[in-house]
Amino acid sequence: MANKWVLGARPRTLAAAIAPVVVATAYAGNLWQPLPAALALLVSLSLQIGVNFANDYSDGIRGTDDSRIGPIRLTASGLASAKSVKNAAFISFFFAAIAGLALALQTSWWLIAVGALAIAAAWGYTGGSSPYGYKGLGEISVFLFFGIVATVGSFYVQTEKITLMSFIVAIPMGALSCAILTVNNIRDLDKDKVAGKRTFAVRVGDSKARRIYVSLLILAHIAAVATFIPATLLTLIAAPLTFTLSKLVLSQASGASLIPALSRTGKLQLLFATLFAIALAIQ
């Protein structure tokens, strides 16, 4: 399968990496810098791809993915050796580290510490002897690193400033990234429970996890409007898709029936980020 590595990188999840950089760059306004923005995007994408390969490897060798629904798993399916998938994760983290080092050289050395924490969090989600993703802490990490850190960090490397507003505009990005992970875990809830993977969805239960997913989508809209920038009302253009996805997830669709919800939540994040970025750019 020539494109197995593309499939293994899980392209449908990459919206979570692109969206915060786009929003942060728009918020930077006339202070935005092309090279730092590009490097921030490379860091974000490399980390997302790295964590996808790391999860494939770690879940594969634990047997968690043996009967998984959804995107192809290279390790569990035997399409690639566990060692090669692990190497793909490390190569992705290497690119993230190099791009991050370049950003640190241009701005501040403390970015190296932030980058190291991000890579450790990406690996520790399902890797190591005590993966926090198996303890229901995945959503917290996603909110912090693909929401707050990715957005505020991308804004900082372009402006060398951190503002309260940069944290506020990060909230929708974190909420929507969490929603992607939540619907993924709702889809896999029964399989994860059997495998002993106590994701947040497993810990709180199916019904509550579905309500939390909807709450995350709503939070994104509320946080955007809470910036008190009139143009952010543009994000309400995404409300019909939010409503459709909420209806689908609350309908008790399960297993393979939830696969479309994952890709459409990614599309929602990209649409929302585009509208939000336009609003921030024209404020």
Q: Residues 9-65: pLDDT tens digits?
A: 888 888 889 999 999 999 999 889 999 999 999 999 999 999 999 999 988 888 776
Predicted confidence (pLDDT) at residue 274 exceeds the cutoff of 50:
yes
CB 67 within 8 A of CB 191: yes
Can you read off the two tokens belonging to residue 280? Answer: 């921030």
Can you read off the two tokens belonging to residue 139? Answer: 């959503």
DSSP-assigned states of every residue in 202-254: HHH-HHHHHHHHHHHHHHHHHHHHTT--GGGGGGGGGHHHHHHHHHHHHTT--
Q: Whole-angstrom Cα distance, residue 211 to residue 237?
A: 22
What 3-state DSSP class applies to 161? coil
Please indicate, yes or no, if residue 178 is contained in any of the structural domains: yes
Please indicate, yes or no, if residue 1 is contained in any of the structural domains: no
Please indicate, yes or no, if residue 223 is contained in any of the structural domains: yes
Per-residue confidence band for 2, with pLDDT thresholds at 50, 70 and 90: very low
Q: Which residue has the tokens 């990459």?
A: 14
Per-residue confidence band for 1, with pLDDT thresholds at 50, 70 and 90: very low
Please indicate, yes or no, if residue 3 is contained in any of the structural domains: no
Please indicate, yes or no, if residue 2 is contained in any of the structural domains: no
Predicted confidence (pLDDT) at residue 67 exceeds the cutoff of 70:
no
Number of domains in the chain: 1
CB 212 within 8 A of CB 157: no
Please indicate, yes or no, if residue 6 is contained in any of the structural domains: no
Number of helical (H) and strand (E) elements in the chain, helices listed first: 14, 0
Please indicate, yes or no, if residue 75 is contained in any of the structural domains: yes
Per-residue confidence band for 127, with pLDDT thresholds at 50, 70 and 90: confident
Please indicate, yes or no, if residue 65 is contained in any of the structural domains: yes
Q: Given this model, what pLDDT does residue 160 score?
A: 94
What is the extent of the structural domain holding 117? Answer: 11-281
